[in-house]
Structure formats: C-alpha cells, structure tokens
Chains A and B, each alone.
Chain A
Amino acid sequence: MQILIDHLATTLHTAAERKTPLQIHGGGSKAFYGNPVAGENVDVLDVATYSGIIDYDPTELVVTARAGTRLADLEAKLNQQGQMLAFEPPHFAAAATLGGCVATGLSGPRRASAGAVRDFVLGVRLLDGMGSDLHFGGQVMKNVAGYDVSRLQVGAMGTLGILLEVSLKVLPQPQSERTVRMQMNETEAIQRVNQWAGKPLPISASCFCEGELTVRLSGAESAVHAAHAKLGGEELAEGKSFWESVREQTHAFFQSGKTLWRLSIKSTTPPVSLPGQQLIEWNGALRWLVSDEGVDAETIRTVASNAAGHATLFRSGESRAEVFHPLAPGMMKIHRLLKQKFDPVGILNHGRLYPEHLNANQSR
C-alpha cells in the first residue's frame, strides 16, 4: 500500500513541477457536484485504488479506513457489528468512496439529530499539493493538539489535499426505528418540527413534501412507542425505504431532471417563497428546491442569505451559475491563502470550490 502512496506523491511532484492541474477522482459518484476543475489539459488522478479498512474495533467506536474504500463496504462492515455512520452520507452510486464523502461533506436525514460528516471526523492522513504525507487529528474522541486540519478537509472538495486515510467516530444503530406520517401545511410543519426538536423526543429525521410531514423516531422500543403516542400520525410500513430515497435522492421529488438547489438556512425560517417545488429536511434547516426555468441564482442566493444561510446549486439542469454561495471578501481572502498553503502551485482540484482560487494564483 505504501507503493500506492509513493506513486501518488510522485505524481504530485511531477504535476507541481509542470503545473499540470489534477482532477482527483474517487468513485465518481459525486462528480456532478461542485464546479468543474479549471484549466486546460487537466489530468485525472485516480485515487480509488488506495482502499480498505485499516482498523476497526467496535468497542472503541472508531473506524480508520483508506479514502478509496467504498462507502457501501464500510457501512456493511459496521452493520455487522450493529454500528453505523450516524450522519447517513448519501452514496448516489455504488462506487461512492469514503474520500468523496469527506471531500463533499454531504450528510443525510439523520444530520439534524446526530451531526454531520465533520462532526464524526477524528483524523486524516493526506498528501498536500507538494506530495508531503501528513497526519492530523488521530483515532481518539478528544484531541486538541494542533489546529483542526482534519475537519478543515470536510467539504473542501479536494482542494486542500488528497485524502489518504480517515478516522471516523461511529455509533451504535438504534434498537428500533419507526416512521410516522401526518398531513399538514408547510407553515405548520416548520413550526411543529422546530417545537419538537426543543423537546426530549427521539426524533432522528424529518421530511416535509407535498402536504405530508414524515418523521422518524429512533431509540429503545419503549421510547419510540411513547414518542409515537405523543406525536400521533400513521405509521409508515415502508419507512426504511422512504428515508433511503430521501438520502439517495431517488425520491420522486428529485427525479424531475430540473435544476436542484440546496438551501441550508435557519430552521425556523417560514415557508420560502420561490417558484418551484420544495422538500424540507433537518427540522426546517434544509430546503431542497427544484426550480422552474427563469429563477435566477441571485434571487435564490438573496433569499438564502436573508434566512441566515446559503444556497448551493446542487444539480444544474440548465443553470450555469456558480455552484457555491459567494463568500464575503475577508473570508475569500482566508480561503485563498489557505489554499496556497496546502497547494502552493494550485494543482489540486483547482476551482472545484471557488474559481477565485485560480485568479489568485494567476495574479501571483
């Protein structure tokens, strides 16, 4: 396995010398997400071969795996021990890897109650843009030695390094789960899920779509039963597959082929008025918008900013807008500088997050 790392490091040295931009390619399941890698003559660097679980001891609640490990394999292994990745990362394809999961930083339905990818990352091993092999964080729950470079990689879209290995905190699967559904309007649904989130109830996911609020309860059977009695609603027999369809975006809502926006906003924001259909997750903090033609990105971004959040062009049908929400100038400056520190020549997934990165390097 060291041979693979040496090979990657050599490739990076060469690319840095020749200033050849590299597109980091894992399983390709989230290749649609983010801006394209900028520049001409981009080389594709396949990193999926560096795979396999390195260390997993269920009673430590920690798993360490190579970034090329398929998410499906990792989750199957945890499942055998009654454990899980609590942030329910979307796969979007069978080839999805752990590295892509961390690089995109996407979390699924359980996020509002359990936390996001970044909340479970304990340590990383990575190659920076000069091919240096670096370790940050570790395999323990609590670790405040050095700056938190591990979590900095989450959602960085591979612009700060090639992830080699990741250590994650894992959690036991709940003893039982039950999905219940009730009819109500959007305003009422947003109000309810926020009220419930402030009560000691075992709610592990919520989804509002087309006048139906679906809620998942997780925990001891007795607790789930008691909570169902409090909340009311009809039990949904196919609960598991419903949440799977929300997580993997196979739910009919996501199947229109139109432009899909992701609005991550303050959970209590009243119904957001934008043309198109919406699906609401995370107790109101995540609003998916399938937008009709003619809604410009700026309008959507203004709405998200006004709701104390941000908007991402998740899947672009026709839209050619910037994928990620623009940053304030002071924040953009920090982003540029950090990128330069990790990748001085600018060869790693350049422009995948913000095209400004490229401009900064060109002007140097």
Chain B
Amino acid sequence: MSLQTLVNQLRSFLPPEAVLHETEDLKPYECDALSAYRQLPMVVVLPRTEEQVIKVLQLCHAMKIPIVARGAGTGLSGGALPHAEGVLLSLARLNQIIAVEPLARMARVQPGVRNLAISEAAAPYGLHYAPDPSSQIACSIGGNVAENSGGVHCLKYGLTVHNILKLRVLTIEGECLEIGGESLDSAGYDLLALMTGSEGMLGIVTEITVKLIPVPEQAQLVMAAFDDIHKAGNAVANVIGAGIIPAGMEMMDKITIHAVEEFLHAGYDLDAAAILLCESDGSTEEVADEIGRIQAIMQQSGAIKISTSRNEAERLSFWAGRKAAFPAAGRVSPDYYCMDGTIPRKHLADVLCGIENLSQAYGLRCMNVFHAGDGNLHPLILYDANQPGELEKTEEFGSKILEMCIRAGGTITGEHGVGMEKINQMCLQFKTRELEMFHAIKATFDPEGLLNPGKAVPTLHRCAELGAMHVHRGEEKFPELPRL
C-alpha cells in the first residue's frame, strides 16, 4: 500500500491533524529520551478515543503494517523508537482521568495521563499513586505500564506491577481484553504481570485501573556522608538488617556529589566518598522511631557527617541534589549516557570498583547514582558526541557495565526496559530456550510480530551472530530492524 493510500485510510476515521506524515511533523517522534537512536516513522497517528485506536489496529493488522506505541516519549531504552515502515501510535491524547474512587482507593485512567497527574487528582482525598519515576512530571502511566517503572520509593511501595489492578488491552486484531479486576486477584493466569513491562510487544493498553494508597502523615530524611564507599554500602545493609525498610535509600559517589554541589549548593559534604540519603515515612510515631534508629546505624557504620531534615523544606533541599544528578551531569559534560543495571547489594563495592577501572580504561568519566535499597545502579557515563568515536566507546563501556551486572547475579535493566538499547545484552542474560519462550509468548498475542517489532527480545539469529557468550558492541551501529 502506498503512503498516500494509508494516510487516506487513516483519515477516513481520524481527523486530518491526527495523522502526520510530512517529515517536519514526524521529526518530534523520531526518538524517545534515548536520543542516540533515531528513526522517522512512516506515519504518526494521534487518536483520541479507544474506538479510533481499534480502527488503527484493525487497519494495520489487515495491511501487515508494524505499530510502535508511544506514551510521553520519556523512555530511556529506545522502546518507542519508530519503525521506518510502520505507524507510530501516540497515546498522548488518551489523557483523561475517568474516575477517582477514594473509598475503594483506585483510579481509572487513560494511558496518556501523566504519572504525577494521578497523584494530584487523588491528593484531595489524602491518597496518591505510589510509583514515582524521576520523570513523573512528564511520563505517562501507559508508558509506566509498558516499562514496569519504579522510582525512588519502590523498595517500600513497589513497582508499577504492584500498584495496578486492571488493564484494558487491545490485541493486534483490535479485540478488547480485560485483564485483572477491581478485586485483589483474578481468575486464571496472572496476565496482568505478563503485560506489565512487556514494552508494547503484546498489546495496546487503553485504560488502567491503579491502586491509590494513603499519603504518609510525615516524611523525614537522614543524610549521611562516608569517607569510604564500602562503609556506605555496609550502612545500607545494616539499615535493612535492622529490620527497617526505608521509604527511599539513595547513594551518590564522589564525582556525583561534586557535580551536583557545584550546580546546586545543596550543602553536600565535598570530602565524602559517598553520600547516603535515607528516608522514613509513615505515621508521626513510626517516623520518630525509625529516624532515631537510622541515625544510630549510620553512626555505627562510620558516617563522618549525619544531618537530619528538620522540616519539609530541608527534606526537599536534601533531595534536590539527588534529583539534580542528571541535569548536573548535563552541565559537567556535553552528553551523558544513563545505564540501568541491578545487582545484589552485597556486590556493590566490587561493581563500583569495576566501573572505576573501566572508566580509566576508556578514559571516560562516570558518575554513579544508585537506588541503594534495591540494588539498582544508574551509572552516568560522561562523553562528548561531537568527538568522533566517543559515543561508540561509551556504548562499549556501558555494555561492559551490564555484563558485569549479569556476572554479579543481577540484571541488565532494573527499570528502564530493554527496548532497542539492551537487545544485545539480552543474549547474555538468557539462554536460547528462554528467548524462544519469550518469542512464543509474543506469538501468543501477536503471531505476525506487528507490535513494536525488533525490540525487547532479540532474535536467535541476532544472538548467534553476536556470539553466544560474548557481545562485540560497536560493530553494527544502527542494526537493521527485521523487515516484515
């Protein structure tokens, strides 16, 4: 089918401005927040109703046209990278909060609703939606479901998969499935879990019922500085070992501390090798009890300086530095590349040492911010894309970090997803039979492979070419997507 025919067909049920095909209109959709990967789609569609989404799916299914779903485009793994011969399905205009039910503590929302907007709508009832990815001002709940997003508070409050109840999902044929329910469990297989984090490979979510939980009465933050990263790592283990599940527990290394302090003057200790931020929330009594215990543990773990927020403004200013880590990286370096491995915490010091060695070997600086409570590392590799070969070097460095995470018993992605970015490392983490099972699951929902082709799960052919046990990065910069 010619492009013009496709556009005409789409415009038979979509208003003209909801079907984009001129290059300048397509440009904003060429990448998500991982801008190293870019590709113009053939067409972008911006439906406003589920009915329109169904028609888009039916048309594409009949015409065998690939579909890539996109929320707010804040993803960090190229999951929403368009397909050159496909339709980019933006769900941004399905942006209605359908219902907030305070007594039942749930909200029904469309996928294009921003994460933070849900908590804002629930705030008058003293409720909120717990997962808070750092992009929560902009990211959409549909994208959160696709990636199983976490956030700073997920050790205590869980990931997206723990905080949703029900999904309306359209299959590639345009059939509607209701997965999950308004009860706490449902009959049959846990397809709700299967859909969550499936990166737009299995179906298109058009409605999400999320759980709302009470806003804690109080939150308080302990900031502890350490002269040694091992001591900071042990402090994390000591807090958990004492039976405390902090609302948030974040670690920053020296280079990060310096970068954010220069940027923000948050009062971080510049002599520290690592800073731990440890938050307690809950009832006033619970917080008072927990903060006292956390302070004592930090002391015993050898902290050189401990500060505790005395009020909300101070708590937010302590957090500000952590939250500014990414912009600070952007200030000290023209470009940065954010990684997302998770490791068992006991291997933290070894992995950080390994990263430091790689940093020297590649001659690239690396800032480490770390969701310390759940072992999720976010190394930020600083580079300059204008220097020839530096992006390639950076990607190779990043890939080595992920291999190290697998070797430490961890995973190549804690919360950003595989997308296009980590497709090769999937060959390292999973065996052939496991990858085959992933393909079989995909085929259950989408036998012709039209939904987000080429993402999340590598073809066996691809893994074979890369070598079963070793990945040679940089040999193929923009790998060809499978043609359908």
Task: State the A residues within 8 Å of B (CB).
Answer: 57-62, 82-83, 105, 111-112, 115-116, 118-119, 128, 132-136, 138-149, 151-152, 154-156, 160, 171-173, 175, 194-195, 197-202, 219-223, 225-227, 264-268, 282, 285-286, 307-310, 312, 324-328, 330-331, 334-335, 337-338, 341-342, 353-354
B241 pairs with A58, CB closer than 8 A: yes
Contact stretch, chosen from B28-36, B40-48, B349-357, B425-433 = B425-433
A173 pairs with B243, CB closer than 8 A: yes
B residues within 8 A CB of A337?
Answer: 444
Residue in B187, B217, B243, B289 whose Cβ sees the most chain A Cβ within 10 Å: B187
A121 to chain B, nearest CB (A): 9
Residue in B181, B413, B430 whose Cβ sees the most chain A Cβ within 10 Å: B181
B440 pairs with A222, CB closer than 8 A: no
A-B CB proximity, top 8 nearest = A172-B243, A151-B193, A309-B183, A142-B414, A308-B182, A141-B374, A222-B285, A59-B237
Residue in B148, B178, B345, B373 whose Cβ sees the most chain A Cβ within 10 Å: B345
A residues within 8 A CB of B343?
Answer: 140
B residues within 8 A CB of A135?
Answer: 430-431, 434
B171 pairs with A330, CB closer than 8 A: yes
**Per-residue CB proximity of B122-150 to A under 8 Å, as 1/0?**
00011100000000000000000001101
Q: Is B198 in the interface zone, CB < 8 Å from A?
A: yes
Other-chain contact of A115, B162, B288, B342 (Cβ < 8 Å): B162
A-B contact pairs, 22 of them (CB 8 A): A57-B344, A82-B243, A115-B158, A138-B409, A142-B342, A142-B371, A142-B415, A144-B417, A145-B429, A147-B197, A151-B161, A151-B193, A152-B190, A154-B190, A194-B105, A198-B102, A201-B214, A223-B285, A268-B103, A325-B187, A338-B189, A338-B441
B175 pairs with A330, CB closer than 8 A: yes
B residues within 8 A CB of A335?
Answer: 188-189
B187 to chain A, nearest CB (A): 4
Other-chain contact of A62, B179, B197, B198, B344 (Cβ < 8 Å): B344
In the complex, which residue of chain A has the Cβ closest to the Cβ of B105? Answer: A198
B103 pairs with A198, CB closer than 8 A: yes
**Per-residue CB proximity of B382-419 to A under 8 Å, as 1/0?**
00000000000000000000000000011111111110
A residues within 8 A CB of B345?
Answer: 59-60
B161 pairs with A148, CB closer than 8 A: yes
A330 to chain B, nearest CB (A): 5
B148 pairs with A328, CB closer than 8 A: no
A146 pairs with B241, CB closer than 8 A: no
A115 to chain B, nearest CB (A): 6
Other-chain contact of A223, B101, B103, B286, B457 (Cβ < 8 Å): B286
Other-chain contact of B244, A60, A118, A172, A342 (Cβ < 8 Å): A172
Q: Is B240 in the interface zone, CB < 8 Å from A?
A: yes
B439 to chain A, nearest CB (A): 9
Q: Is B269 in the interface zone, CB < 8 Å from A?
A: no
B residues within 8 A CB of A197?
Answer: 105, 214
Other-chain contact of B190, A60, A144, A155, A324 (Cβ < 8 Å): A155
B391 to chain A, nearest CB (A): 23
A residues within 8 A CB of B254?
Answer: none
Q: Is B191 in the interface zone, CB < 8 Å from A?
A: yes
Q: Is B194 in the interface zone, CB < 8 Å from A?
A: yes
A140 pairs with B414, CB closer than 8 A: yes
Other-chain contact of B290, A58, A142, A220 (Cβ < 8 Å): A220
B153 to chain A, nearest CB (A): 12
A310 pairs with B184, CB closer than 8 A: no
B184 to chain A, nearest CB (A): 5
In the complex, which residue of chain B has the Cβ closest to the Cβ of A161? Answer: B437
B198 pairs with A147, CB closer than 8 A: yes
Residue in A171, A198, A221, A331 whose Cβ sees the most chain B Cβ within 10 Å: A198
A215 to chain B, nearest CB (A): 15
B175 pairs with A309, CB closer than 8 A: no
Residue in B158, B159, B193 whose Cβ sees the most chain A Cβ within 10 Å: B193
20 A-B pairs besides A58-B240, A134-B437, A152-B193 with CB distance below 8 A are A57-B346, A128-B437, A133-B433, A140-B342, A143-B414, A144-B197, A149-B437, A198-B212, A200-B215, A200-B282, A219-B282, A220-B289, A222-B289, A267-B104, A307-B183, A308-B183, A328-B178, A330-B176, A334-B189, A335-B188
B344 pairs with A199, CB closer than 8 A: no
Instruction: Report Cα–Cα, A138/B430, bound state, in Å.
Output: 11
Known A144-B415, A268-B103; contact A171-B125, beta-carbon cutoff 8 A: no
B422 to chain A, nearest CB (A): 7
B residues within 8 A CB of A146?
Answer: 418, 426, 429-430, 434, 438, 456-457
In the complex, which residue of chain B has the Cβ closest to the Cβ of A339? Answer: B189
A159 to chain B, nearest CB (A): 8
Known A144-B148, A145-B413; contact A341-B444, beta-carbon cutoff 8 A: yes
